[in-house]
Structure 1
Amino acid sequence: MATPPELARTRYEQVTSTIRSIIEQIQDLWRGMSAQSVEDDLLGEAGARIASAVVAGQFTVADAAQAYIAAQMVAQGGSAAAEAALIAAAFTGIAPGGGPLESLLFLPAIGVRRRLAAGLTPEEAMLGGLADMAMYASTAIADTARSADQVGMAANRSCVAYVRVVHLPACARCIVLSGQMYRHSEGFLRHPNCDCQTLPLREDQWPDVPTPAQLIDRMTPEQRRRIFTEDGARAIAAGADVGQVVNSRRGMDTVTRHGRDIQITHEGATRRSVYGRSRARAGDQFDRFAGQRYGHATTTRYFRSTRHRLMPGEIFRLAGGNRDEELRLLRRYGYIT
């Protein structure tokens, strides 16, 4: 039987291979675009195909999450049985910050224009735009995988915690968190291009994952200087605490409702979505609104639920560790059934 670290490696490879496949598709589409027409390209067929590819990647990694959690629990002597089925489609079409994925994927066009204004050649500007697009796409897919994994953990009562697994190359902010254990519902600290993952645990145990010190030992002097800066690397070599050298923070967008900061999304909340249909059956009201395509209003034929949709991470925070409340809210907002 595969051990928990081996299963985590398999899950990591599944997510990263999915990302690589999507990035290759994006690169092929990007070659047919030009700096002069990049906005029109991303508002047209090329942009639609890029968005469809990323959505497909999000669905792929979300759809595999529950099987991964079940395999981990069985490998640790627990049960594969889950109390609810994860809805993979509920995790698609959403950017990491909760906004519309298509608006996020239009940002590379703005980056191209800025590079041209700064004096770069069209070729250089487009290369920079492709790098931006690859970062946004890979981050969206990786974040979907982590969100789906955490929802899968909540649906299986055998899982009580997770450990952060860091794969080199990694940034300083991630290295200092390697091997840290968290409750199954605790938020996952991440940043753009972060590919760290969760290793779900059945009970309090410490799997064989590298500590920050072990990761640093594996790095070359050049890598340490690049990741921690010259002064930081020298301080660590002199015995300074890595956590004091690195300031690890998460920057997430929030909105204020009734005096509280919460994370919400309108994505997946239309009448045609999984969540939207469930709200319609519950008698929720829907407001007419202009459709959005890469941040531009289209028509007003769309109807969106007046009830805000909470992000999975916000659900876990509001539930305060109460598994029954987590499951209730995850069902209410269309992530499980």
Structure 2
Amino acid sequence: MSLAEVAEEHAAVRRRYARIVADEAVRLWGQVDAANIAGSWRVLLLRLLVVLTGAQQAAAGRADAYLDEVLDVQGVDPTAVARVDPAALAGVASDGRDLADLLYQPVISTLVGIRSGMAVGQALAGGGASLDMITRTQVADAGRVADQVAMVARPQATGYVRMLVGRSCSRCAILAGRRYGWSAGFQRHPRLPVRLRAHPGPGGHGR
């Protein structure tokens, strides 16, 4: 496969993981008891937590193989000084908090909406939208961080190239193809996974 195809496939698999979790989140959120929103979600949340944690680990688990392949396609030595531990990036939110606490946030926003006069159905719909964004983002972030860890572990990979995922806004389009050092980050829109294409340094040598 070409370099672009390797990156596209990597991103596509990760999106599938996120979609599976988001679909399960929709299914479980639909079972919330409107008369006992907090109590019913505490039970349902535990099921979603298992699915989300598994998807995070699966997404993170692709990083080493991806970096090996994307560097090999470029004729760069993919030898790593360490390997990613996918379990270390699963079961925790990307901001460091407990993942279960993050998954409870839609309940809080729903109850706040109801108390401010919003119809119960409307408030629940808003909570569901928030849950969808949370689950997709957490899967994407676990994979993104794993890619960055795997890149740092390979001395020949000194940076990455930003690529577009699906339809993109004009601001993102302008940044497409730009190379960033491995430690450089950038702002991204919610729900959109970052796709990293590891890139060797000048002449393919070390940092």
TM-score by length of structure 1 reads 0.57
Shift of the 155–174 alpha-carbon distance from structure 1 to 2, 3 Å rule, reads same
Q: Cα distance 1:176–1:113, how it changes in 2: closer, same or farther (>3 A)?
A: farther
Count of matched residue positions in the alignment of Structure 1 and Structure 2: 205
Which structure would you say has the larger RCO, counting Cα contacts within 8 Å and 6 or more residues apart?
2
How far off its partner does 1:173 sit?
5.2
Whether 1:8 and 2:7 are equivalent positions in the alignment is: yes
Residue of 124, 128, 131 corresponding to 2:129? 131
Counterparts in 2 of 1:88 and 1:188: CA distance versus 1, 3 Å: farther
Following the alignment from structure 1 to structure 2, what is the Cα–Cα distance between the partners of residues 165 and 204? 20
Give the partner amino acid of 2:23. E
Gaps of 5+ in 1: 206-321, 324-337
Residue aligning to 1:28: 27
| Structure with the bigger percentage of helix | 2
Q: What runs of 5+ residues in structure 2 fail to find an aligned partner?
A: none
Deviations 1:192-242 (CA, angstroms, capped at 9, x unpaired): 32323111112459xxxxxxxxxxxxxxxxxxxxxxxxxxxxxxxxxxxxx
Contact 2:67–2:198 (Cα < 8 Å) also in 1? yes
Query: Match for 1:23: what amino acid?
Result: A
User: What displacement does 1:176 show?
Assistant: 4.1
Deviation at 1:175, TM superposition (A): 3.8
Shift of 1:75: 0.3
2:38 is aligned to 39
Tell me if the contact between 2:29 and 2:41 (Cα under 8 Å) persists in the aligned partners: no
Match of 2:158 in 1: 160
C-alpha deviation, 1:165, in angstroms: 1.1
Aligned AA for 1:77? Answer: G
Find the counterpart in structure 2 of residue 114 from structure 1: 112
Deviations 1:61-83 (A, max 9, x none): 00011100000011000123211
How far apart are the structure 2 equivalents of 1:173 and 1:147?
23
CA contact under 8 A between 1:161 and 1:204: conserved in structure 2? no
Partner letter of residue 69 of structure 1?
Answer: L
Structure-1 residue corresponding to 2:54: 56
Aligned-pair identity in percent equals 28
Question: Which residue does the alignment assign to 2:80?
Answer: 82
Q: Does 1:151 align with 2:165?
A: no
Paired residues of 1:22 and 1:54 also in contact (CA < 8 A): yes
| Alignment RMSD | 2.0
1:242-261 map, 5 Å: none
Q: Report the AA paired with residue 196 of structure 1.
A: V
Q: Is the 8 A contact 1:165 1:179 kept in 2?
A: yes
Cα contact 1:65–1:145 (8 A) shared by 2 = yes
Which letter does structure 1 place at the counterpart of 2:8? Answer: R
Deviation string 1:145-197 (CA, Å, 9 cap, x unpaired) is: 11000001011122121011122333565344322211122234334323231
Alignment-mate amino acid for residue 159 of structure 1: A
Q: Cα–Cα, structure 1 residues 101 and 184, in superposed 2: closer, same or farther, change >3 Å?
A: same
Assess if the C-alpha contact under 8 Å between 1:35 and 1:112 holds in 2.
Answer: no
